[in-house]
Amino acid sequence: MPLFRYLCFDQSGRRVKGELEAADPAECRLALKNRNLFPIEFQVADASKKIFSLGRKVSQEETTASLRQLASLIDSHIPIVEAVETVAPQIKDPVLARAFRSLSESLRRGTLFSEALRREGVFPSALPELAAASEASGTLGATLSEFARSEEAALRLRRRVINSLVYPIFLAGISLVVLLFLFLVVLPKVSAVFAESGVLLPAFTRFTLSFVLFLKRFGIPVLILLFFLYFWWRQRQGTQKGREYFWRIIGRLPIARELSRKHFLALFARNLSVLHRGGVRLIEAMHLVSMVIPDPSFRKELTAISHDLGRGISLNQALNSNPLFPPFIVQMARVGEETGKLAEMMEKAALHYEEDLETGLTRLVALLEPTMIVVMGVLVGGIVISVLLPIFEMSRIIK
């Protein structure tokens, strides 16, 4: 049997590495679950190709749309194998289409839907656990529909964020093009005129022309360096230390820190709502929620909360003892636990933080637009002044 190398969370939230012999990835995952370990990733020990990963490999939009269709077919009492085979030909993403065809084959061999989802490794990490819980209760269609609705809400928020940043990015791009045109086309011609005149240039003009000369000589090497730095940063972002460093920088920027905190709280509340409504145990749900949070420090706090839940502490008490969680979400958790409507309260909390995040982004964009216009005006004005100063000097000498 092949040897699998794995990385997991244990019940206390600590990372555990090891190796395990298993016939296939599904058997490996089942063996890890029987040991009360929650897999982050595992791969064949002698292969570099990753078998399972928490990262998405397919379009979130198409995955959500496919799950929505699948839920509608199952709710219409169509057998799950036929439902999967009906959805598969409509999928445009080749990776997702191949995953659905593989799902169909696994289901025809008698594999449970939840286990078949785990084997593919391209679906959101919480989906197999939700499917397993709903298979036992006979509510698979409703659970898939609720999960798709949650994903659609996350997509709407993402689109609003992107749309709000379109104009500032466009304005920044136009500003960069204008500045490059002035530096690389206009100023070199003006500098040639100044050189022929023999006029002593003001310090500000000499500085501007020196910068133009630097761009002409070293512009391409600088672009190549920036290109390599970008890919180095992308590679570093794939490591644990790289992610911790990135989010540590974000944490030092007041506005970015506040917006990211609201985003993480919205992610936490929405995913916890979906998992709890789907019948996943609270401790296991907390582990799954921590996997979708990109900030390692926030993730560590969630594993600590999961450890508190394992010791019998209520969710609202565990959240209240953690400074990352504001009183609002603590109170929502308390009301939810007291009334037995934790999923509904977490969904309301998610909506609150999503709206709060959108409001914050709208205000940020409203500040960015005039700021960028002012910066652009100052830069262009500085270039114009650097050109006019020697012209005034030349006209004074002529007189």
Sheet holding 15-21, edge to edge: 15-21, 3-9, 38-44, 50-52
pLDDT reading at 52 higher than 60: no
Q: Each residue of 159-191: pLDDT tens digit? A: 877 887 788 888 888 888 888 888 878 778 877
- Euclidean distance between CA atoms 122 and 131, whole angstroms: 15
Q: Each residue of 226-235: pLDDT tens digit? A: 888 888 877 7
Compute how many other C-beta atoms are within 10 angstroms of the C-beta atom of residue 373: 12
pLDDT at 45: 57
- Euclidean distance between CA atoms 161 and 163, whole angstroms: 6
pLDDT at 24: 65
Q: Between residues 193 and 305, which one has the greater pLDDT?
A: 305
pLDDT reading at 240 higher than 70: no
pLDDT at 41: 66
C-alpha torsion sign, points 206, 212, 215, 217: negative
pLDDT at 329: 92
- Euclidean distance between CA atoms 384 and 162, whole angstroms: 34
Q: Which of 4-13, 43-52, 81-90 has the lowest mean pLDDT?
A: 43-52
| Stretch 41-65: mean pLDDT | 59
383: nearest Cα among 149, 187, 101? 187
First and final C-alpha spacing in the chain: 94
pLDDT reading at 54 higher than 80: no
pLDDT band at 16 (very low <50, low <70, confident <90, very high): confident
Q: Each residue of 303-357: pLDDT tens digit? A: 888 888 888 899 999 999 888 899 999 999 999 999 989 989 998 998 899 888 8
Q: 310, 11 in Cβ contact below 8 A?
A: yes
Q: φ and ψ at 40, to 5 degrees?
A: -95, -50
pLDDT at 364: 83
- Hey, what's the torsion of the CAs at 35, 39, 45, 47, to 10 degrees? 150
Count the helices and strands in the chain (H runs, E runs).
16, 4
- Euclidean distance between CA atoms 241 and 57, whole angstroms: 22
How do beta strands 38-44 and 50-52 pair?
Answer: antiparallel
pLDDT at 56: 44
pLDDT at 50: 41
Q: Between residues 17 and 99, which one has the greater pLDDT?
A: 99
| Stretch 128-149: mean pLDDT | 77
- Euclidean distance between CA atoms 198 and 394, whole angstroms: 9
pLDDT at 399: 56
Q: φ and ψ at 117, to 5 degrees?
A: -65, -40
